[in-house]
Structure 1
Amino acid sequence: MGLAVRRNPRRAHLLVSAVLGKHVPTDPRLVYGAGLLLGDLVRARLRDENPSSRGTLLSDALGSVPGAAAALRDSLCEPSAPVDAFVLGYAETATALGHSVADALGGAYYLHSTRRPLDGFATYGGFEEEHSHATSHLLLPADPAALDRDVPAVLVDDELSTGRTVLNTIEALHAVRPRRHYVLAALVDLRGEDDRARMRALAARLGVRIDAVALARGRVELPDGVLEAGQALVEDLSARPSPSLTPTPGQAATGRFTVTRAALDWPAGLPDGGRHGFLPAHRARLEKDLPRMADALADALGPGASRVLVLGFEELMYAPLRLAEALADALPGADVRYSTTTRSPVLAVDDPGYAIRTRLAFPSHDDPSDGPGERYAYNVSSAFDRIVFVVDDVGDTPELANGLLERLRALAPVLLATIPSHRREP
């Protein structure tokens, strides 16, 4: 994990994960492998078994040992007995992570929260993420009955800082459909003893079992006045010139690379993700078509692609992740990385010890329910010689063409891959 400063009056710091693939372009096989490894911990807890040990593979992958990221992923893709559960991922950061945990369980129903309401989908429940820049989350399952089963509920986030968000969620879910077992799953658990006591107290009050698993544990110590200090730092550094995103010499004359569209041929009827629910059968269908779609992307990129960024779109993280992972397999000679755009306003500082080196800012392009606003892509630079932007059709708008795509095509040739957004059948 790295550290950055938020542009947020409620929270000064941002912990930037080295395996999440949100703010830092990362080997997609490491991202998916870390998610599957977290899912393996959940599986062990649900079955009251000892988890398998793959710490060496994870350490090697984090250390960029050649082949280690693929080996981590491949070791966790072996078939196992499916485990029935309801897995919930948190928008926007943990949508792909929750998907990966559900994949590891094999038999789980997956849903992620969303900040995009849609006609025809009734709200199942909601909760508040108190420290976030945008706090309203919605659960919009296409089939609410999938949630109304007494199976364990697994709540997945990238980090547990205090645990308030997940405990609020448990109370909201339990009020609608009580269940006996809840598991909190995160890449890193930063809770203190008071936070853990709060979890135990809620379990006792509801008469349920609540477990927590994580790939790593740690703590964050915040000095007095940290919010004021963070805001002062943002104000000071924002007044200075932004980190330079200099075009390459051969591109300086025109200032723009090309934008082309990829003929992805996304399977008809396959959801683009877990916003309205994702079943094991959906995953099996996606697995079948991933090699074909990756080959289509590789062909569209053309010869000479050596450093490729696959960039996802806010909550749309899982489909771009799996496409990036398959593309990395299809282009073994290229360095393929994966990250996504975000709503999170973070300070960029071009310093080797800082996690957010560059920032692209652009207007929202999917008609969000809370109105237009600024969006961001971090650590995206001219170091990439190809950029693949994966977006759902709701976000494929003139605002995208005139905003983010203009910023991206100043850096490298852009390949636009549009996925049909899941809609309720008439």
Structure 2
Amino acid sequence: MVWTGTWVAERLGVELIGDEALPALLGLALRRNPKRAHLLVSSVLGKHVPQRPSVVYGSGLDLGRRVRALLGDEETARAVVLGYAETATALGHAVADGLGLAPYLHSTRRPVAGVARAGGFEESHSHATSHLLLPEDPKLLAGHGPLVLVDDEFSTGNTVLNTVRALHERYPRDHYVVVALVDMRSAADLGRLDAFADEIGARVDLISGAAGTVRLPDGVLEKGQALVAAHDTARTDRSWDVPGSEVP
């Protein structure tokens, strides 16, 4: 069987609306979460549903090559790539490979004895909100070249804005590039990135594999929680299981 994510979409009435590439990249699952019962799941990330390694790696590599084309060789040589734990750690590696020789760092939620903290930020919607940046070389983030931030999904933009704000105060630079497999911002969120760039006086670009948005019907949270509860009573029957349903 090939997972499509339609099981949840049909039962909750949630719609993913976007360009032609979106259905091949994204689907819906359930999660146990009091804030949001549905979960957006990538079908090319290789974290939650099976996928060919060539597709997983190629998706990030292609995004990295697009970043390289945007920056040009001179700026690419000065770039640093930052991936988000836990979901986008491998994706960030692939994007860095697409750039060529750019050094790569991913965030972590675990302090490491003997390694100094170079920064941190908050991911407000996550079950574990605090991220740490622990580069082996403390000078890694101190350069002035472009910083490329890689995540699997760009939805509200809150995590990226929190990251850039925290790092810009400590390591200011002129250019940031946000990279995501999918850009799922709502109409209300579309202008926030440009406004933030003006606020800090830096250029902020966005590159994604596809763009769209989520249409949620009234009462979707309650309906989703009821759906999770109904199937939680029959966990021995794995035929109902969908990716993401086990996420706390």
Q: Give your verdict on TM over 0.5.
A: yes
Task: Tell whether 2:148 aligns with 1:154.
Answer: yes
Note if contact 2:186-2:214 (Cα within 8 Å) is conserved in structure 1. Answer: no
SS in 1 for 2:139: helix
Tell whether 2:243 aligns with 1:349.
no
Q: CA–CA distance in 2 between the matches of 1:134 and 1:159?
A: 17
CA shift digits 1:4-47 (9 cap, x unpaired): 01111122211111110000111111100111011112112222
Amino acid at match of 1:25: P
Give 1:225's aligned amino acid: G
Query: For the residues of structure 1 that align with 2:169 and 2:187, how far apart are their CA atoms?
Result: 26
In structure 1, stretches of 5+ residues that fail to align are 49-80, 245-347, 362-374, 377-426
Matches of 2:65 and 2:47 in 1, distance apart?
Answer: 22
- Give the structure-2-normalised TM-score: 0.83
How many corresponding residue pairs?
222
Deviation of the 1:107 alpha carbon: 2.1
After TM superposition, the score normalised by the length of structure 1 is 0.50
Taking every aligned residue pair, what percent have the same amino acid on both sides? 60
Give the match for residue 177 of structure 2: 183
**Which structure 2 residue ranges, 5 or more long, are not aligned?**
1-25
* Alignment match, 2:46: 21
1:106-125 paired onto structure 2 within 5 Å: 106-125=100-119
Contact 2:186 2:213 in 1 (8 A): yes
Deviation per residue, 1:159-194 (Å, 9 max, x gap): 101111001101011011100000100000011233
Which aligned runs of 4 or more in structure 1 are off by greater than 4 angstroms?
none
Q: Which amino acid aligns with 2:44?
A: V
Query: Hey, what's the Cα distance between the residues in 2 that align with 1:229 and 1:127?
Result: 32
Name which of 221, 224, 234 aligns with 1:227: 221
Determine the C-alpha separation between the residues in 2 that align with 1:233 and 1:103. 41
What is the rounded CA distance, in whole Å, between the counterparts of 1:191 and 1:227 in structure 2?
A: 19
RMSD: 2.1
Higher alpha-carbon Rg: 1
Counterpart of 1:349, as a letter, is: W
Alignment of 1:37-186 (within 5 A): 37-47=62-72, 83-186=77-180
| Cα distance in 2 between the residues matched to 1:167 and 1:47 | 25
Distance in 2 between residues matched to 1:34 and 1:134, nearest whole Å: 26
Superposed CA offset, 1:61-118 (max 9, x none): xxxxxxxxxxxxxxxxxxxx96331111000000000011111111211100001211
Deviations 1:222-246 (A, max 9, x none): 22332222222211110124334xx
Distance in 2 between residues matched to 1:124 and 1:107, nearest whole Å: 22
Instruction: Report the CA distance shift for 1:196/1:19 in structure 2 as closer, same or farther (over 3 A).
Output: same
Between 1 and 2, higher relative CO (CA 8 Å, sep ≥ 6) is seen in 2
Query: Is the CA contact 1:11–1:131 (under 8 Å) kept in the aligned structure 2?
Result: no
Q: How does 1:407-418 map to 2 (within 5 A)?
A: none
8 Å Cα contact 1:3/1:13 also seen in 2: yes
